[in-house]
Amino acid sequence: MPPLKRRGRRVRPRWMFQLGAGLGLVAGLIAIVGLVAVLTGRVGPKPMTLGYSELLVSLQAGQVDSVQVSPGREIRGWFTDARAGAASKRFRVVYSTEDVDPLLGAAAAAGVGISFEPEPADYEAVFATVVSVTFLLLMGLLLRRQFASASVDTEAGETSGAVLSFEDVAGNTGALSDLREIVAFLQEPERFAAMGARIPKGILMEGPPGTGKTLMARALAGEAGVPCFTASGSDFTGIFVGQGVARLKALFRKARKAGGAVIFIDEIDTLGGRRGRAHGHAEDDRTLNQFLVELDGFDPSVGVVVVGATNRACDLDPALLRKGRFDRSVTIGLPTVSEREQILALHIRDRRVPLAADVDLTRLARLMTGASGAELAGLINEAAIMAVRAGSSEVTWAHVEEARDRVLLGRAREGLTVCETERRLVAVHEAGHALAGVVFCPADPLHKVTIQPRGGAMGVAFFQPDHETHIASRQYLEGQILKGLGGRAAEEIVYGTGKITSGAGSDLQHTTRVAKQMVYRLGMGASTGLITYDPDSGPVSSETHSRMDQDVRLILESSYTTVLGCLRAHRAALEALADALMIEETLSGEDAIRIMEEAGLARELAAAG
């Protein structure tokens, strides 16, 4: 079947016009430079420069064919063919030509004709002028394009592609409920107007990156059956005065012309940040003022809703958040376990990914604690790529597990050469994490431990939470610190204090951060008690700050002492797990626990329970 042809005049892509215009400008500039070079004699052999005395000697020797005098500038001439060793037949003499009588006498005696040339135009000045004017014209054209881009590019803001609905969005049930109310406003504004209700002008979506804010805005427009115009906050900032204001006016003009519409502005904190933040932000403040004016100028009957997305709502200007502008605030948080399972199932359905029978989406959702919707989509895509690379007809659990490791830790560093001494050290380190986690943090069961280098890590111990937790107890936080210090403690026990390594660098950063949170934010310090420190509410006294630091250090040191005692008491289990890692490289949580239990860890677990 022949390909379909678009009816009517053929429309070339805009980038082809831009490319042609740019090439034309470059070609024109090159032509101008070449023409000026020819006019100024810059093309061809360069004339030889002589001194005045050398010219007189050449005249007496009969080596000069003719001489041309430019009054006030220079003397130019041509040698005869009898002149030997000359690099060029042309020559020039830089000499004050106000008094040319001595030259006339010498030329007459030699029988050489002299001509006088009227003072020529200053071609160097002409050249500089032409180049400057050309540069200014080019800059003017670029400026015009910058300002025209907001009004000429009528398709830039409108979302293309398939029309979405709430059926294409999984998770965030509460947010979807709020958005369904907005859909009713957009579909039946008369019904709400009859009751005296006004359609919300703005909706603020707040949440971390990758949680689906853009997807929800498109689904909102699709459900309401109206166009969706998308932009980023940075699209309205620039180095040119008035550029952001012009783009805002053009965007809102297009939305009003469309009747009912949704305007989605991602990273709205770039556009709507607090005014007067610092010097040099006057243009940004003018753009924000225009944004506020556009919001106030909405006719409620038009049915245009502005949706802004940000993960820094605290940086927004208060005038933007008042009632009558952004009336609603919708929190788009990270998905829960059940929502993660729904998101995984949605991506598998939409992409038609063939799953093997051993793939458990519920288990996978539990393993991806804290993952956003975008990360889950990347996981499914990576697993499908793994299956294709392996030549499999379906995605198995092994592909999913490998994809998860790659998403969380990075690609396996297969070409990295690690000596046996370092492999043993990494095995001891990860065994220490695994043992400490099993003993002190039972709420997070061990899922897997490996010494395979990935990304920036030489090994890792994965722990899988039993359930979602929204409130952390002191015991749980202390367990996180104890688990994090297990690697350093294992190194000290097996190799001694003098041979501890840099492998615990990230572990110490994590444990210090947790300890500081306990003292500075949660009032769990031994000496400071219920005092908390919040930089936004002002500083505390130097004495209180010092006591807080001492409490942080006390938590870390006491936790390290506890871990050392536990690992010393179960060194056999530690060594057994390290030996198994040297052989297998990767162990499941069940296998790792079985190995440690066989080495005597079960009695401690029973006592701890």
Which residue of the set 339, 430, 478, 491 is catalytic? 430
> How many helices (H) does the chain have, and how many strands (E)?
22, 13
Q: CA-to-CA distance for 306 and 266, rounded, in angstroms? A: 11
Would you say 604 and 569 are in contact if contact means Cβ atoms under 8 Å apart? yes
Structure token pair of residue 177: 């409920």
Task: Report the interhelical angle of 243-257 vs 282-296 (nearest 10°).
Answer: 20
Would you say 344 and 361 are in contact if contact means Cβ atoms under 8 Å apart? yes
Q: Is 430 a catalytic residue?
A: yes
3-state DSSP assignment of residue 595:
helix
Spacing of C-alpha 171 from chain mean position: 25
91 burial class (0-12, 13-18, 19+ CB within 10 angstroms)? buried
Would you say 577 and 592 are in contact if contact means Cβ atoms under 8 Å apart? yes
* Phi and psi based region of residue 124 (left: phi greater than 0; alpha: psi -120 to 50; beta: remaining): alpha
Would you say 518 and 475 are in contact if contact means Cβ atoms under 8 Å apart? no
- The residue whose two tokens read 């046996």 is 420
Dihedral sign (CA 184, 185, 190, 193) = positive
Q: CA-to-CA distance for 47 and 89, rounded, in angstroms? A: 7
In angstroms, the Cα distances linking 344 to 27, 209, 393, 569 are: 54, 18, 19, 43
DSSP annotation of 520 reads I
Q: CA-to-CA distance for 236 and 229, rounded, in angstroms? A: 14
| DSSP symbols for 59-99 | HHTT-EEEEEEETTTEEEEEE-TT--S-S-SEEEE---TT-
Tell me which amino acid residue 543 is: E
* Phi and psi based region of residue 68 (left: phi greater than 0; alpha: psi -120 to 50; beta: remaining): beta
Would you say 251 and 287 are in contact if contact means Cβ atoms under 8 Å apart? no
Q: CA-to-CA distance for 562 and 550, rounded, in angstroms? A: 18
Would you say 479 and 557 are in contact if contact means Cβ atoms under 8 Å apart? no
Active site residues: 430
